[in-house]
Amino acid sequence: MSELLSALRSGFGFLTTIPVGITMEGIEKLMKHIYLFPVIGAFLGIIFSAVGFTSSIIFPPVLASFLTIISIYYFTGFNHIDGLADFGDGVAAHGPTEKKIAAMRDTAVGTGGIIFCMIAILGLFSSLFFIFDSRMFFPLALLAAEVSAKQNMVTVAAFGKSIHKGFGSMTVDNTKKSDFIISMVFSGAACYLSLGIQGIGALVFSQVAGFLVLNTANRHFGGVSGDVVGASNEVGRLAALLFLGGLAWMR
Which pLDDT score is estimated for 110?
86
Cα(205)–Cα(216) distance, integer angstroms: 17
Question: pLDDT tens-digit profile of 32-91?
Answer: 889 999 999 999 999 999 998 899 889 999 999 999 999 999 999 998 999 999 999 999
Which pLDDT score is estimated for 149?
97
Triad 243, 247, 250: Cα angle to 5°? 135
Which pLDDT score is estimated for 28?
82
Residues with pLDDT less than 50, the chain: none
Cα(168)–Cα(154) distance, integer angstroms: 12
pTM: 0.92
For the beta carbon of residue 155, count every other beta carbon within 10 angstroms.
27
Q: Kind and range of the H or E element at 77?
A: none
Cα(184)–Cα(203) distance, integer angstroms: 9
Which pLDDT score is estimated for 20?
80
Query: What are the structural domain ranges in the chain?
Result: 33-250
